[in-house]
Amino acid sequence: MTPKKADKIAVNVLYGLSGIIVLILASLLTYILVRGVPQFSIEFFTQPAKTFEVGGGIIIQLYNSFYLLLLTLLISTPVAMGAAIYLSVYAPQNSFTTFVRTAIEVLSSLPSIVVGLFGFLMFVVQFKLGFSILSGALALMIFNLPLLTRTIEDSLTAIPSSQREGGLALGLSKWETVTRIILPAAMPGIITGVILSAGRIFGEAAALIYTAGQSAPALDFTNWNPMSITSPLNIMRPAETLAVHIWKINSEGLMPDGPDVSAGASAVLILAVLSFNLLARYLGKKIQKKITSA
């Protein structure tokens, strides 16, 4: 076989392999959307779920998913940011920092159900937080931290050292160089990383089943007292999210239209995660463009 021919075959094989990936994604998406989108209706998005009857909606679960996402990001972003800054700027190369990096890697490979059970024992039982949004957010923080730290660290180290030197040479302290030069320059990467992690959080179920709980008490969206059990702001109430809802319907749902609700909810979930991804790409590109072009 001539090298030219071998090259051609190799390219075609690789082309085919990438095609398979796209095909899997496309058929999955098509199936979920074709099955799910017809379930969309105003009631579906505005009514609470029904346990025994036909026609339940997903408003509470959808809201819970977003609220939990927001809380998780509020807790985990600062922690990940701090760790990433330390690792990329300050950390010396020694056995301790190697240990920290290894710990992060191990943490990122923990199965989410294990994180969920750990969260159950730690936050729900030990800290007596009960099945609550707070327990769920803390478990998701553990689930989310390693990858987020890694992405932020990567965006920070991607800033050329000439930028850092430029700042230091102007008489900026190390910390000023971090906050005023490196962080702003790394912002597109950081924002992309945070949004991508949002997609992972939004779709996570296993880590939440035993932490945020599997029930969605009725919410009164006019009640702004964060201590009240019906208030959407309350972080101590159990809160079934959309992903958990899908799991629940399929494992023990009693409503006659369970498969339809599940299909609709899956479509919403997929669309949300998809839009997070697209948003991440769009924002990342846009900020990058703003920063680099004249």
Partner 1 sequence: MNDVKNTHPVYTIKDFNLWYGETQALKNISLEIPEKQVTAIIGPSGCGKSTFIKTLNRMVELIPSVKMEGSIHYKNEDIFKPNAKVESLRTEVGMVFQKPNPFPKSIYDNIAYGPRIHGIKDKKTLDEVVEKSLKGAALWEEVKDRLNENAFGLSGGQQQRLCIARAMAVEPEVILMDEPTSALDPLSTAKVEELIHELKNDYSIIIVTHNMQQAARISDKTAFFLNGEVIEFDATEKMYSNPHDKRTDDYISGKFG
Task: By CB under 8 A, name the binding residues for partner 1.
Answer: 92-93, 160, 162-163, 165-173, 176, 180-181, 184-185, 291-294
Of 53 and 165, CB closest to partner 1:
165
Least distance between partner 1 and beta carbon 97 (Å): 12
Nearer to partner 1, 180 or 281 (CB): 180
Which residue, 109 or 162, is less far from partner 1 as judged by CB? 162
Tell me the C-alpha distance between 246 and 46, whole Å: 17
Supply 142's token pair. 């553990």
- From the CB of 294, what's the least distance to partner 1, in Å? 2
DSSP code string of 155-198: HHHTS-HHHHHHHHHTT--HHHHIIIIIHHHHHHHHHHHHHHHH
- Nearer of residues 94 and 126 to partner 1, judged by Cβ: 94
CA–CA dist 186, 279 (Å, integer)? 17
Q: What is the DSSP letter of 228?
A: S
Distance CA 108, CA 146 (A): 5
* Cα–Cα distance for residue pair 105/59, rounded to 1 Å: 36
CB 190 → partner 1: shortest distance, Å? 14
Choice between 162 and 222, CB closer to partner 1: 162
Q: How far is the CB of 242 from partner 1 (least distance, A)?
A: 39
Q: Which is nearer to partner 1, 251 or 293 (CB)?
A: 293
Classify burial at 294, counting beta carbons within 10 Å of its beta carbon; exposed 0-12, middle 13-18, buried 19 or more.
exposed
Shortest CB 155 distance to partner 1, Å: 14
The distance of closest approach from Cβ of residue 211 to partner 1 in the complex, given in angstroms and rounded to an integer, is 41
Q: What does the radius of gyration of the chain's CA atoms come to, in whole angstroms?
A: 23
